[in-house]
Amino acid sequence: MTARTCPVRVLIVDDHAVVRRGIRAYLEVLDGIEVAGEAADGQDALDMLGTMAAHAELPDVVLLDLMMPRVDGVLATSRITRQYPRTRVVVLTSFGEMERVRAALASGATGYLLKDAGPAEVGAAILAAARDEVFLDPAVARQLTRQVIAPPTGVGALTERERTVLILVARGKTNREIAGELVISERTARTHVSNVLRKLQLSSRTQAALVAIREGLVPPAG
């Protein structure tokens, strides 16, 4: 592999201007990295990338947050990697929950860092992404490794949304009531309930309610 002679061009995407300015400030002093621009959210990033692509000026790496208005980081990552396969995505976020990590990686992200990472670590993740290598925050990598070695079971295997659904089931809510409370379709609520029962290896909503009580998710009736 030949050594790279031109700097890695990075598009910074975050809905907080002060965060973008801070990231730009420490990226601009790193050797081998050049800031190609800033975007305020996922939609803004997609619009900018469209313009850049038209001028053959696509960045090598998009550094983005997960929680943003309009188009969030996971959806933006999926669209970027699909539309611009030569552009890599590195997530820089405050969230280290495994559900978010898996969603980002499944959408095509090649790096995942938490916002307490130092400038050198962010720079290393960007350069690794430009080489088409995966770079994970050490704490995230440890959690992923533990899950591969010992996958979560029981309530621990449920997503955040599924835990919420389990609690609502334990409170006696119907699928229609769950749908109304979570602002989702009744069909989606029914799917969530089915997934909860399947993951917990249960056959009824009553059994699910008993599990929720045993796990301390809801107080026992009476």
Per-residue model confidence as pLDDT tens digits over 81-94: 999 999 999 988 87
Angle, CA 147 vertex, CA 146 and CA 148 arms, to 5°: 90
Place of tokens 């890599």: 88
Enumerate the domain spans of the chain.
Answer: 8-148, 154-214
Q: Which fold has domain 154-214?
A: Arc Repressor Mutant, subunit A (1.10.10)
Report the topology of domain 8-148.
Answer: Rossmann fold (3.40.50)
In terms of DSSP bridges, do strands 33-39 and 88-93 run parallel, antiparallel, or are they unpaired? unpaired
pTM for this prediction: 0.64
Q: Is the distance from CB of 165 to CB of 178 less than 8 angstroms?
A: yes
pLDDT of residue 121: 87
Q: What confidence tens digit (pLDDT) does each residue in 122-132 have?
A: 888 999 999 88
Structure tokens at 122: 């962010």
> Hey, which residues does 88 pair with through a beta bridge?
61
Structure tokens at 219: 């107080």
